[in-house]
Every structure is written in structure tokens, then in C-alpha cells.
């Protein structure tokens, strides 16, 4: 059996982390499950930065923390491959494309009063995202569903996810069971105190558990109560986060820009993402020790299976809107063929779908 080549020197590894995570951040459309699939395909399957089991352990740990799971997973991967500089610079590289894109959209929105038309792009992206996530579930399941017990964890988590139970509740429930048994004019406002804006987003980033889509409720409570942003503009801000690559938390950049221009965008972005850097830095060494404790190891295996099941539920929920037209079915089939042939990876499938969407819109 061929041996794996020696790892590059530390500076080379750090550069690799920055380049790879920046590229993934620029193509990570489709929400948290799609981001996890892209990270697994590129960093585990293709580049072998870590063993699949390590990836699942880091994913489980990230799922139990407040903040954006995919960003926390990217931070873990950066640290594992290039140490603490990899955590910081890799995390910034992962965030940068999405936050810059959202900032650009916010500027256009302020100028034109609406978001650019993206219907064709979204129609093409959805089936591609579905295929990429399903392929990641297939690979991850091979690592964790090793017996009937773990298959039961995965199937149970998928069923709960389809029933509408949040991913956080599913993961925390699996962990517990496993441990127990073996109004003002929006957008034109420039009087928002930057310090208060930072603290509001710091609180959101420190307390939001679960899907990034819960962010809307947090923003509505925090901003609406202060009279900073009305319901309609808040919906537009969340839409901007969905239309751009990277974590949905980059919505904070859009909101910050509407409230206080570019300084507000910078402050809001720093506030919402700072907690995940701190939390990952604090917990990463613990994750590496979990497997030396038999009771924790067993619980972690159950959580890993539950996480895979929860992601599988996302695939099922995506089907109606991802395969709703003949064009989308064609995109999905092309994505399956590309992944099966090995000619394109997950990132290539996403970019190919974007190209098809643009061509479809121009035809």
C-alpha cells in the first residue's frame, strides 16, 4: 500500500489552509449542511487533513456549541492542519468571501432599493446542493453507521429531523441518552452606537444554538425592540445572506451596513463571529482527548450517528424545492454523474450549477 507523503512545512500548511478555506468560502452556497459536505469532500476525502472519524468528532463538537456550525468546523480543520495560526487565518479566509459579498449586496441594496434578481441561479443551485449533501451523507455514514445500534441512532435522528425537531435538540438528546445508557427609517439610520451594535451581535453569536435560519428570530427580537430595523428590511437582510456563499451569519454584515455604513458592517461582523473563534479555541484540545475516555467515546459515537441522520433529513426536506422542474432534475443528474466519475468534486459541481443557471437565464 502506498504511503502518504510527508506533510509540508508549517508555512506551507498555513498557506494551504488559507487558500483552500477561502476558495470553499467563496463557493459554499446552500446552507450549513451543504457547507459541511463541501468541507468533508475537500478537506477529508480529497486532501486528507484528518481521518473521517476526527472530522465527525469535530462536527459533533461544533453542533453542540452556539454559533455557525460550519464556521466552527472550518476553524477546527484549520487548527488541526496548521495549528493556532490555521484556526485564526483559516477562519478569516472562510468568512471573507461571504461577508464581502454580503457587504456588496448591502451597498447595491441601499443604492437600488432591492436585491438583484437571482431566481435562475437559485434554481440551478438547489439540485446541486442536494446532490453534494447526499454524497457527503453516504461517505460519513460509512464511518459511523458500523452496527445496528448506530444505524438506529442515525435513523432516529433523521426521523426527528423530518418531524421538525431542531438539529440542536436531536444532537443534545442523543448525547444525553448515550451518556445515560452506556419602526424607524431603516437603512438610512446612522445614529446607532457602534458599541451597542457590537454587543448586540456578540450576544447573538454567543447564544444562538442550532440552524443559522434561527438568526431571523434573534435579529427581530434584538433589532425590532430597539426600533433599528423593520420587518421587511430584516427579511431582505436574511435573503442577502442566503444568496451569497458562506455562513448565513454574514447577514450581520448586511444589517450592520444598513444601520451604520461600513463601520457598522465591520462591527456587526466582528461581534457575531468572535464567539465561535473563542469557543473553538477553548474546546478544540478537549475534542482530541474525548476518545481516551470510554464513556465519552461511546456517547460521541452516538452523537456522530445522530448528526449524520440529521443531515440526511436535510436532504429529504430539500427534495421538493430542489427537484421541482425538469431543469433542476437535469442539473441533479449531471451532478450525480460528475461526482460518480470523479471528474469534478463538490466545489466543481456547485460552480457548474451556477454556470448552468446563468446560461439558462440568458437563453
Residue 92's SS3 state is helix
Task: Give pLDDT, residue 171.
Answer: 72
Rounded Cα distance, 336 and 351, in Å: 14
Whole-number pLDDT of residue 363: 66
Q: Looking at per-residue confidence, does 273 or 154 come out higher?
A: 273
Average pLDDT (175-185) is: 61
Instruction: Evaluate whether 79 touches 280 at the Cβ level (below 8 Å).
Output: yes
Q: What is the arithmetic mean of pLDDT over 124-137?
A: 77
Residue 4 is predicted with a pLDDT of 42
Degrees to nearest 5, angle at CA 141 with 138 and 144: 165
Q: Which three cell numbers stand for residue 140?
A: 460519513
Quick one: how many helices (H) and strands (E) in the chain? 14, 0
- DSSP assignment letter at 4: P
Would you list the DSSP string of 243-294?
A: HSSS-GGGHHHHHHHHHHHHHHHHHHHHHHHHHHHHHHHHHHHHHHHHTTSH
Spatial separation of the C-alpha atoms in residues 79 and 106, rounded to whole Å = 32
Separation CA 329–CA 324 (nearest Å): 8
Give tens-digit pLDDT for 55-81.
988 988 888 888 888 899 999 999 999
Name the residue ranges covered by the structural domains of the chain: 11-114+146-183+277-317
Q: Are the C-beta atoms of residues 102 and 254 closer than 8 Å to each other?
A: yes
Q: Which residue has the higher pLDDT, 260 or 178?
A: 260
Please give the Cα distance from 159 to 345 (Å, whole number). 29
Amino acid at each position: 500500500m502506498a504511503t502518504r507523503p510527508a506533510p509540508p512545512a508549517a508555512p506551507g500548511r498555513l498557506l494551504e489552509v488559507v487558500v483552500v478555506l477561502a476558495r470553499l468560502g467563496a463557493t459554499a452556497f446552500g446552507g450549513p449542511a451543504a457547507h459541511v459536505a463541501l468541507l468533508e469532500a475537500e478537506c477529508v476525502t480529497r486532501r486528507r487533513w484528518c481521518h473521517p472519524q476526527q472530522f465527525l468528532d469535530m462536527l459533533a463538537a461544533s453542533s453542540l456549541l452556539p454559533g455557525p456550525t460550519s464556521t466552527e468546523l472550518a476553524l477546527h480543520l484549520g487548527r488541526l492542519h496548521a495549528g493556532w495560526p490555521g484556526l485564526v487565518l483559516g477562519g478569516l479566509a472562510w468568512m471573507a468571501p461571504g461577508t464581502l459579498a454580503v457587504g456588496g449586496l448591502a451597498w447595491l441594496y441601499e443604492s437600488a432599493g432591492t436585491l438583484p434578481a437571482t431566481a435562475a441561479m437559485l434554481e440551478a443551485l438547489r439540485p446541486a446542493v442536494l446532490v453534494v449533501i447526499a454524497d457527503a451523507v453516504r461517505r460519513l455514514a460509512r464511518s459511523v453507521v458500523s452496527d445496528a445500534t448506530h444505524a438506529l441512532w442515525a435513523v432516529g435522528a433523521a426521523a426527528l429531523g423530518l418531524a421538525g425537531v431542531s438539529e440542536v435538540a436531536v444532537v443534545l438528546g442523543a448525547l444525553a441518552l448515550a451518556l445515560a445508557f452506556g419602526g424607524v427609517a431603516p437603512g438610512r439610520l446612522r445614529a446607532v452606537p457602534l458599541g451597542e451594535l457590537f454587543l448586540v451581535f456578540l450576544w447573538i453569536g454567543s447564544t444562538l444554538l442550532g440552524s443559522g435560519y434561527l438568526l431571523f428570530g434573534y435579529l427581530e427580537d434584538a433589532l425590532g425592540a430597539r426600533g433599528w430595523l423593520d420587518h421587511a428590511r430584516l427579511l431582505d437582510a436574511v435573503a442577502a445572506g442566503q444568496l451569497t456563499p458562506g455562513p448565513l451569519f454574514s447577514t450581520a454584515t448586511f444589517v450592520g451596513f444598513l444601520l451604520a455604513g461600513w463601520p457598522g458592517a465591520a462591527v456587526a461582523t466582528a461581534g457575531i463571529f468572535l464567539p465561535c473563534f473563542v469557543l473553538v479555541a477553548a474546546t478544540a484540545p478537549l475534542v482530541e482527548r474525548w476518545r481516551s475516555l470510554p464513556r465519552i467515546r461511546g456517547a460521541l459515537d452516538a452523537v456522530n450517528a445522530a448528526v449524520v441522520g440529521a443531515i440526511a433529513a436535510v436532504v429529504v426536506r430539500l427534495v421538493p424545492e430542489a427537484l421541482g422542474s425538469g431543469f433542476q432534475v437535469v442539473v441533479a443528474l449531471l451532478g450525480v454523474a460528475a461526482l460518480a466519475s470523479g471528474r469534478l468534486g463538490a466545489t466543481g459541481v456547485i460552480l457548474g450549477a451556477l454556470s448552468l443557471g446563468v446560461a439558462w437565464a440568458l437563453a
